[in-house]
Structures are given as structure tokens and as C-alpha cells.
Structure 1
Amino acid sequence: MKIQRIIPALLLAPLSLTSLLSCNGTSVDTIKAMESNYDNHNKTIELIGEFDAPSFTFSSGKSKTMAMNFVVKPHAISSEKFTAFSVILPVGTENNSVLFELPADQKNYTLKNFHVIDKNGEKTNLDTHTTFKMTGTVHYNELEKPEAERDKTNFNYKITDVTFEKD
């Protein structure tokens, strides 16, 4: 009787592990491609991961956008991370935006100071490490220069027209 239960469990274990390990490879591949070629220029991409605070923030309250980071992992139990930089979000309380709240007496910011409002209007604090499905259009700064002046190894990009929702 126990053998009848063990055999199916042994067969299902590798399948479960395989599906867990390959759950986010497409997002990782997309980021790797964005950092190594211009194939995604002016194309809409989709990534699954979580928003992270930018490396720095604006110094005045007049900025209308903020370049956020978006972190993806190859799979749920991985410590390896890939980051899409310059995910441009409007600052405010509208859908698909970021809200940065830093008390006047606080000098350093943490994830607790950032909230994102998804396409459904749901406000989420970044400190919860929520997974989102994000889409946006990739633009390479280098391709805006005349062809003779381009550095073919510079793959700096920005992602605009961003929409996102909880995954």
C-alpha cells in the first residue's frame, strides 16, 4: 500500500521541481538581451518580478517621473537576481505610478518609503516584496544619436509606457 503512494510521489517530485526552477526564465532572458543588443528597441516587453528602489532619488518635489529598478529571478528559490534599470514611472497617486513618501526628519530612504499603484489602482508598499507582471516599451539612448557617433557597446535603455499588476 505504501509503495503505491511512493511511486507517484517519486514521479511527481521531478516535475514539480522542474516547473519551479523554470518559472521566470523568460524575464531573465529578456533582461540579458536588453543588456547585450538593440533587438528590443521600441518593442513592448513583459517582465515578472518586483520593483526595487532606485539607486538615488530626485532632490526636489518637482520631478514628475522616477526611474525605478525592476528585479527578476530565474526561479523562486534562486538568490541570483537580474535588474532592469530605468523603469520610468510617473510620480503620484494615479494608476501605474510610484509614490515616494519621506518624512522631513528622515534623511535616508528604505523600501518602506515607496509605494506603487498598479493598473487596477491598488497601492502596494515595496517593502512587501510583491511580485508584479510589468510591461513597457524599451528605448535605447544610443540609438537617438547619429549612427557615426554611436557606441555599439552602450546598451543603456529606459522602459516607458509602463503598466503593471500583481502577478
Structure 2
Amino acid sequence: MKTQNIIPALLLSSIGLMSLYSCNGTSVDTIKAMESNYDNQNKTIELTGEFDAPSFTFSSGKSKTMSMNFVVKPHAISSEKFTAFSVMLPVGTEKNSVLFELPADQKNYTLKNFHVIDKNGEKINLDTHTTFKMTGTVHYSELEKPEGERDKNNFNYKITDVTFEKD
């Protein structure tokens, strides 16, 4: 009788572990591809992960866009992270935008100072580490140069036309 209960339990456990390990492999594969070839030029990609604050210095408060980072993991319990850099979001309070709020007396920023407004208009603080499904179009800066002047190992990109929602 115990054997009959153990086999279904083991089967169910292994299916659960397999789904946990494969839950975000396509996002990781997409980032790896973006950093190793130009196959995604002008293509819309989809990633599942969370926004992270960019590393930047302030030049003025008049910028209309902000280059955000988007972090994905191979699976939920992984400590390994892959980052899509230069996810371009408009600054403001419209849908699919980012809002940066730093009090005048505060010198350093944290995730608490960043909010994103998703495609449904919901304002979400990045400090909550919310998972999003994000889509956007990839553009490689190197491909804007004449072919003879390109560095075939430079895969710097920007992701534009971004939409996102809580996953």
C-alpha cells in the first residue's frame, strides 16, 4: 500500500521540480542571444523578471527617458541573474513609464525611490521586487554604423517600445 502512495508522490515532486527549473529559461536564453549576436535586431522580445535601478549620474532633471535594467533568473530559487541593460522607459506618470522620486534632502537613491507604471496604469514601487512580463524591440547601436566600421564583438543594445505588466 505504501508503494502505491510513494510512486505518485515522487512523480508529482519531480514534475514540480522540473517546472520550477524551467520557468524562466527562455528569458535567460534571450538575454544570452542578445549579448552574443545580432539576430534580435528590430525584433520584439519578451522577458519575465524584475526592473532594477539603473547605474547613472544625474546631468539634469529634464530627461524624457530613463535607461532601466531588467533582471531575469533561470528559475525562482536561483541566485544566478542575467541583466538586460538599456531598457528605455519614458519618465513620467503615463502607462509603461518610470517615475523617480528623490527628496531634496536625500543624496543617495535606492529602489524605494523608483516606481513603474505598468500597461494597466498601476503604480508599483521597485522595492517590492515585483515580477513583470516585459516586451520591447531590440536595437543594436553597432548596426547603425557603416558595415566597414562595425566592431563585430560589440553587442550594445537598447530596448525600446517597452510594455510591461505584473506577471
Shift of 1:118: 0.2
1:75 is aligned to 2:75: yes
The 2-side partners of 1:102 and 1:95 are apart by: 21
Stretch of structure 1 that moved more, 56-65 or 134-143: 56-65
The 2-side partners of 1:11 and 1:140 are apart by: 45
- 1:10-89 maps to which residues of 2 (within 5 A)? 10-89=10-89
Shift of 1:57: 4.5
TM-score by length of 1: 0.97
Structure 1: where are the runs of 5+ without partners? none
Structure 2: where are the runs of 5+ without partners? none
| Alpha-carbon contact 1:57-1:66 (below 8 Å) kept | no
- 1:71-150 maps to which residues of 2 (within 5 A)? 71-150=71-150
Identical-pair percentage: 90
Shift of 1:7: 2.3
- Local SS of the residue matching 1:50: strand
Give the counterpart letter for 2:45 in structure 1: I
- Local SS of the residue matching 1:5: helix
Give the counterpart letter for 1:150 in structure 2: R
- Local SS of the residue matching 1:134: strand
Corresponding pairs, count: 167
Shift of 1:3: 4.0
The 2-side partners of 1:69 and 1:79 are apart by: 17
Q: Root-mean-square deviation (CA), in Å? A: 0.9
Shift of 1:58: 3.2
